[in-house]
């Protein structure tokens, strides 16, 4: 095994160990937050920052592991039929404490009979990260929706009432398979991973995709995930 390969394996193993430790810290933090009454806005802000940033670090570690396994062809898709309405509610429930701390109203709109064929673990990781980021910037509301497009694609969207996405980030999403842009000082790791997960889903020659846009009415941003 070459030195580069040995280092990659060591790095992946270390990231996995850090992620496990962080998961324990998150569980402990959740217990502390749930058993400590919030008495003022400063305390609420501190709890929200701790919970939100810890979740973002956890997601970033998950992406690093996922991308490493993709490179090694060790991350096969586990496609299954998924009831999308239930899937969206599970993603909301996973972040319920964060939403509660930030006093955000999070809703989902989806036909109860709508189903899709995708990997719920990988796609769930993508939507989870979008929700954590949306909670960071949203003022009061986050909305999830899922529909079937005229092209028979499953379209999942996450909208928030924050300040919207920077133009550079929208451009990065559009160029999702051209590498990571470091110019802004941000790796856009979450976007890159989301684009790769979407692209892994295919039907014939049709691949999944992601996009970002800003809402014309009321402000805020929208994340779009399209799966064939």
CATH code of the domain in which 166 resides: 3.30.565.10
Q: What is the pTM of this model?
A: 0.80
Q: Which domain holds residue 208?
A: 3-227
> What does the pLDDT look like over 15-68, one tens digit per residue?
777 878 878 888 888 888 888 888 888 888 888 888 878 887 887 787 777 777
Share the mean pLDDT of the chain: 85
What DSSP string runs through 37-67? ---SHHHHHHHHHHHHHHHHHHHHHHHHHHH
pLDDT in tens, 120-178: 999 999 999 899 999 989 999 999 999 999 999 999 999 999 999 888 888 877 775 44
Tally of structural domains, the chain: 1
Using CA atoms, how far residue 13 sits from 10, 36, 108, 187, 193, in Å, is 5, 35, 37, 21, 19
**Residue listed under structure tokens 């058993």:** 35
């Amino acid at each position: 095994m070459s030195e580069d390969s040995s280092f990659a394996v060591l790095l992946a193993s270390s990231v996995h160990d850090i992620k496990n430790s962080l998961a324990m810290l998150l569980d402990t933090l959740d217990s502390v937050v749930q058993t400590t009454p919030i008495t003022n806005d400063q305390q609420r802000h501190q709890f929200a920052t701790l919970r939100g940033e810890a979740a973002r670090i956890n997601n970033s570690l998950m992406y690093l592991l996922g991308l490493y396994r993709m490179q090694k062809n060790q991350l096969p898709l586990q496609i299954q039929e998924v009831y999308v309405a239930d899937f969206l509610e599970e993603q909301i429930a996973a972040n319920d404490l964060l939403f509660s701390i930030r006093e955000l109203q999070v809703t989902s709109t989806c036909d109860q009979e709508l189903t899709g064929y995708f990997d719920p673990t990988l796609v769930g990781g993508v939507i989870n990260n979008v929700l954590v980021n949306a909670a960071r910037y949203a003022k009061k509301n986050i909305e999830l929706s899922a529909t079937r497009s005229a092209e028979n694609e499953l379209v999942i969207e996450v909208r928030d009432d924050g300040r919207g996405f920077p133009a550079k980030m929208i451009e990065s999403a559009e160029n999702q398979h051209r590498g990571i842009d470091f110019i802004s000082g941000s790796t856009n790791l979450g976007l890159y991973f989301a684009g790769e997960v979407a692209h892994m889903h295919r039907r014939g020659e049709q691949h999944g995709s992601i996009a970002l846009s800003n809402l014309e009415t009321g402000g805020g941003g929208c994340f779009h995930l399209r799966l064939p």
